[in-house]
Structure 1
Amino acid sequence: MAGHSKWANIQHRKGRQDAKRGKLWTKVIREITVAAREAGPDPDANPRLRLACEKAAAANMPKDNVNRAIQRGAGESDGANFEEIRFEGYGVGGAAVIVDCMTDNRQRTVSDVRHAFSKNGGNLGIDGSVVFQFQHCGQFIFAPGSSEEKIMEVALEAGADDIITDSEGLIEVVCLPTHYAELNQAFNDAALVPEIHGVVMKALNETELEGDDAAVMQKMLDALESLDDVQEVFTTAVMDETE
């Protein structure tokens, strides 16, 4: 597709995430709280909590905020009782979308997410309608120019499932969610810094969008990501780099 570049899409997405950093603390605090409630307050024994604490550190969140969120999750202090909800739906051109939320008011969240879809040419589906188009995995993406040989050596030794290098030189490492923490530590120890990493729903196939379709799809994704209850948005859509 003319103008399509996976690296440009990643940089575009990262720039938008950085611009919304003010809301990031709220999302990370919710993730920490739920993770601590789910599997305990010790990050060393709770991989999900450890990942959430890493996100907090990357967002320069004060340790006091992190500790308070852990305490709330562990039931040591009062706080809202968040539940996790996943929405599945479609955007422009049949692009699949998964929206993961944490909320203390299910009715509000359902209404807000449905509105963001319908206002921007999308529609909500039923549970299971699009999730089969994604792979739940750990993902690390390294910028073009990174040492493929070194990344491959560390990744394979630490239990990666797949290493993909595209025509631009972008390197993607994929692993089981349960191996994410081990692989992340291995990359840190080797001073290999991915541009983006996390436990994600990775699209198995891409829906390429251009022009007006790309603009409308981006507007829908922005509307979803701006909602306070939304933690993550995953999509099969890729937009041309001019968008």
Structure 2
Amino acid sequence: MGRGPSIAARKGAEDSRRGKLFTKFIREITVAARTGGGDPRSNARLRLALDKALAANMTKDTAERAIKRGTGELGADQFEEIRYEGYGPGGVAIMVDCMTDNPTRTVADVRHAFSKNGGNLGASGSVAYQFAHVGQLFFETGSDTALEEKLLEAALEAGADDVVSEDGYTEVLTTPEAFEGVKQALVAAGYAPIEADVTMRPSATSAVAPEHADALRKLIDMLEDLDDVQKVYSNAESA
């Protein structure tokens, strides 16, 4: 009977994933501080980045060093924000947000991931029109229609733009500017989101044919694994 990976090997793989995740958090915190200042009370982007990093067990010292790099207290921040757009297998629209100190390297890596997995990198604006910049909060409501109604009322009262319930989950949508206020109001009212972020939401989703599903999944995984990639968005129904 074959043996699976050793505990040491599994831990090594997990440590590697954790390291990549922390690298992405550090870059986001640094750039957020550079563009909006180092005070999370007045910088919503920084506050969101810190919330996600600390929830993933990043130490406060690490987060504070990233803020200081962004504000210039620990040297100049060299990261540049770049968005790449393209199409994956089956014509699925994909956007890739990157932070990099070497755009030449980054575009080569992103282009390689697309071409290797049956996609192609497009021009700026080629797919962005299919997405909206929104605040998005998910809640698990199950079959409790009374809970759905109470959440709907609380969300709209807090300033949400839309609330959608289906398959046991409720999605609350806000403008990016209203996201933090809506989130805080709902948490204070006893509604804790299972996921909350400011993201790019597709205006319509695209069904993925079975023959394209595996290649699309590999493409997205390969993109997300790149050090310079912060987030990958697609309009696929499943990937």
Normalization by structure 1: what TM-score? 0.87
Matches within 5 A, 1:1-243: 20-78=17-75, 80-145=77-142, 147-166=147-166, 168-239=167-238
CA contact (8 A) 1:32 1:53 kept: yes
Contact 1:80 1:104 in 2 (8 A): no
Deviation at 1:238, TM superposition (A): 1.9
1:187 Cα deviation after fit: 2.1
Q: Deviations over 1:108-152 (max 9, x none)?
A: 100000001110000011011000101110011222416212321
Structure whose alpha-carbon radius of gyration is higher: 2
Per-residue Cα deviation, 1:176-201 (whole angstroms, up to 9, x for no partner): 00001101111221232222220010
In 1: Cα distance, 2:197 partner to 2:108 partner: 28
Unaligned runs of 5+ in 1: 1-18
Deviations 1:219-240 (A, max 9, x none): 000000000000010000122x
Residue-by-residue CA offset, 1:34-69 (whole Å, 9 max, x unaligned): 010101110001111111111111111100000000
**Greater RCO, CA 8 A, separation 6+:** 1
Equivalent residue, structure 2, for 1:7? none
- Give the total of aligned pairs: 221
| Contact 1:116 1:220 survives alignment (8 Å) | yes
8 Å CA contact 1:93–1:207 kept in 2: the answer is no
How far apart are 1:81 and its partner, in Å? 0.8
What is the match of residue 11 of structure 2?
A: none
Distance in 1 separating the partners of 2:27 and 2:184: 24
Which deviations, in whole Å up to 9, do the C-alpha atoms of 1:144-166 show, x marking residues without a partner?
41621232122111110001112
Matched residue SS, 1:209 = coil
SS at match of 2:49: helix
TM-score norm. by structure 2 comes to 0.88
Structure 1 vs Structure 2: percent identity of aligned residues? 54
1:185 counterpart letter in structure 2: Q
SS of alignment partner, residue 233 of structure 1 = strand
